[in-house]
A and B are shown apart, each in its own frame.
Chain A
Amino acid sequence: MSTDLDAMYQEIILDHYKNPLHKGLRDPFQAEVHHVNPTCGDEVTLRVQVADGLVSDVSYDSVGCSISQASASVMADLLIGKPVEEAMAVHESFLALMQGRGSVEPDEDVLEDGIAFAGVAKFPARVKCALLSWMAWKDATAQALEEKP
């Protein structure tokens, strides 16, 4: 009965939910965005700082379910310090995983803790939760790059 449920609520996800990494808004930042999930009201305010082609900081403040909160934590931990291009590729990989309806095999080398979200992809209603902060990051990063070409 709860195999799918357990597949979604991986220990890694619950750990990140209870002890989120990099949470809290920080300075400096080049772009700040606010994204909401209009169906459920989950919200994230996210800041990005890009320096020397690197994602030097991702900070965020958010309210929402375990999936959306854990996803923001995993994402920030994964992307901070990566070259922007590589971070974008990680983003693409996570997006493909979430939109794969459970048929995409995640690459642990690329996604690290992010592979824990593979089970979420089987729950269409929760995919948006997992993607909320990732979409916010892409938006903010695009703005940061415009700011500082």
Chain B
Amino acid sequence: MAATLEGLLPELEVIRKDFPILARTVAGGLPLVYLDSANTSQKPQVVIDTMVDHLERHNANVARAMHQLGAESSEAFESARDRVAAFIKAPSRDEVVFTKNASEALNLVANTLAWARGPLAVGEGDEVVITEMEHHSNIVPWQLLTERTGATLRWFGLTEDGHLDTSNIVDLITERTKVVSLTWVSNMLGTVNPVAEIARRAHEVGAIVVVDASQAVPQIPVDVVASGADVLVFTGHKVVGPTGIGVLWGRRELLEQLPPFLGGGEMIETVTMQRSTYAGIPHRFEAGTPPIVEAVGLGAAVDYLDHIGMENIHRHEQAITGYALDGLATVPGLTVLGPLQATQRGGAISFELDGVHPHDVAQVLDARGVAVRAGHHCAKPAHQRYGVQSSTRASSYLYTTPAEIDALVEALEYTRSYFKVG
């Protein structure tokens, strides 16, 4: 059955060889079954080599050093920006801002909006709309913004089957709404949200649309303009890139109106003791020495994904997710949280196992070499919505095989027998 699974990447075994960590074993000499890619993805050799090569041969600060190495490093750094811009189909490379991670990118938007004057200003009587399925990083910055400005935070609720409840969209997104911020793909429920539809309503009332695409960019071909977003953020380490690098894409007209975020080197045009003027985008939002080698690694990562093809990766994810949902359905006492059709969701599958706490599930799975995540996945409100304290989450990626899903299902059966449930 597994061998004939439609949609799998045809050269899966070759792809797996690109990821050296997949060849290692874990305690007890067991093969590693890595099903925690929604947490962080593994890195292909080309990303590792590109970063090592940069450090070995081209290391210098960027945009400051007037020597050959400085030119090479700046070229590598800015070329990574070009690659990322092309990867997400950004109309201009200047619209791509490098940050530390997706959280910093979201905080950048929320903070600069708190400081904005004029039409972008957020104040008393204004509203910010988020959803109940957000990662904490797309909740807390907006709580801080509304607390600091006196604005009101509102949110979309969720339906029983794990979708956004958009039935009250007209009452929720009104002329008072200044910002609508939502996740494209839920990191807990896996749900793919109707971003374009919500963006349409938000734009009717003149609100800015911020999209957390941390779980979407790894799995779905992304065209930032077609998405409907005004700002879209994601993190490098979930797209086979390194940690320490995130991306904020924003429409040029919007980014140009936002005040600076962090002050410092590189973000200025000129500085006197009295005042400063600021660089244009994207550098205005990149104070200080940026994460250079991380950006270079991210450039190699998106090149790698482009080479395999995001359409193909998406098909693979859907095939594996469908296979996993089928497999999990055979485990007695197991309940999947979120949509049950692979076509309506991403590759992160959170579930409960009757009678065994998620920590204990993850512990027993780990003893079988199967790496998953257990806890609230930084989405406590979404767990609370479904009356669940915590869950176990298995998440696949382009290197995941049906045999690994079989290993997960088998290990879950073992977990049930270990804890003597059923």
By a beta-carbon cutoff of 8 Å, the part of chain A in contact with chain B is: 1-2, 4-5, 8-9, 14, 39-43, 63-67, 69, 123, 126, 129
A8 touches B380 (CB 8 A): no
Q: Does B375 contact A (CB under 8 A)?
A: yes
In the complex, the 8 A-B pairs of residues with the closest C-beta atoms, listed nearest first: A65-B359, A65-B357, A40-B375, A1-B28, A41-B376, A5-B367, A63-B389, A66-B360
* CA distance in complex: A5, B46 (Å): 37
**A105 to chain B: closest CB distance in Å?**
23
Q: Is B358 an interface residue (CB 8 A)?
A: yes
Alpha-carbon separation in the docked complex, A42 to B27 (Å): 27
CA distance A123 to B360 in the complex (A): 12
Known: A1-B367, A65-B357, A66-B357. A41 touches B389 (CB 8 A): yes
The answer on a CB contact under 8 Å between A39 and B367 is no
* Structural contact, B367 and A41, CB atoms closer than 8 A: no
| Other 8 A-B pairs with CB < 8 A, given A40-B359, A41-B380, A65-B357 | A2-B367, A9-B360, A42-B359, A43-B389, A63-B389, A66-B357, A66-B419, A123-B363
What residues on B are CB-neighbors of A1 within 8 Å?
Answer: 28, 30, 367-368
The 22 listed contacts between A and B (C-beta, < 8 Å) are: A1-B28, A1-B30, A5-B367, A5-B418, A9-B360, A9-B418, A14-B419, A39-B375, A40-B359, A40-B376, A40-B390, A41-B375, A41-B383, A65-B357, A65-B358, A65-B359, A66-B356, A66-B357, A66-B419, A67-B359, A69-B357, A123-B363
Q: Which residues does B use to contact A, with CB under 8 Å?
A: 27-28, 30, 356-360, 363-364, 367-368, 374-376, 380, 383, 389-390, 418-419
B367, closest chain A residue (CB): A5
User: In the complex, which of the residues B358, B363, B374, B376 contacts A5, with contact meaning CB atoms closer than 8 Å?
Assistant: B363
Q: Which of A9, A41, A64, A126 has the most CB of B within 10 A?
A: A41
Evaluate contact between A64 and B357: CB separation under 8 angstroms: yes
User: Which B residues are in CB contact (< 8 Å) with A69?
Assistant: 357
* Docked complex Cα distance between A4 and B364 (Å): 10
Residues of B within 8 A of A39 (CB): 375
| Given contact pairs A1-B28, A9-B418, A64-B357, A40 touches B364 in the complex (Cβ within 8 A) | no
* CB of B85, distance to nearest CB on chain A (Å): 36
* Docked pose: A138 CA to B376 CA in angstroms: 26
Chain B residues whose C-beta falls within 8 Å of the C-beta of A41 in the assembled complex: 375-376, 380, 383, 389-390
Residue on A nearest B368 in the bound complex, by CB: A1
Chain B residue contacts of A9, Cβ below 8 A: 360, 418
State in angstroms the CA–CA spacing of A1 and B383 once bound together. 33
Instruction: Give the docked Cα–Cα distance between A121 and B419 (Å).
Output: 20
A8 to B362, CA, bound (A): 14
Q: How far is the CB of B383 from chain A (nearest CB, A)?
A: 7
| CB nearest to B364 among chain A residues | A5
Q: Report the minimum CB–CB distance from B357 to chain A (whole Å).
A: 4
Select from chain A the residue with minimum beta-carbon distance to B355. Answer: A18
A1 to B30, CA, bound (A): 9
Residues of B within 8 A of A5 (CB): 363-364, 367, 418
Q: Which of B27, B360, B419 gathers most chain A CB within 10 Å?
A: B360
Chain B residues near A14: list those with CB within 8 A: 419
Closest chain-A Cβ to B385's Cβ sits at a distance in Å of 14
Q: Which residues on the A side are within 8 Å of B357 (C-beta)?
A: 64-66, 69
Chain A neighbourhood of B363, CB < 8 A: 5, 8, 123, 126
- Nearest to A40 among chain B residues (CB) is B375
Query: Inside 8 A of B356's CB, which chain A residues have their CB?
Result: 66
Tell me the complex Cα distance, A14–B418, Å.
10
What is the minimal beta-carbon distance from A21 to any residue of chain B, in angstroms?
A: 18
Assembly CA distance A104 to B125 (angstroms): 60
Docked pose: A40 CA to B357 CA in angstroms: 11
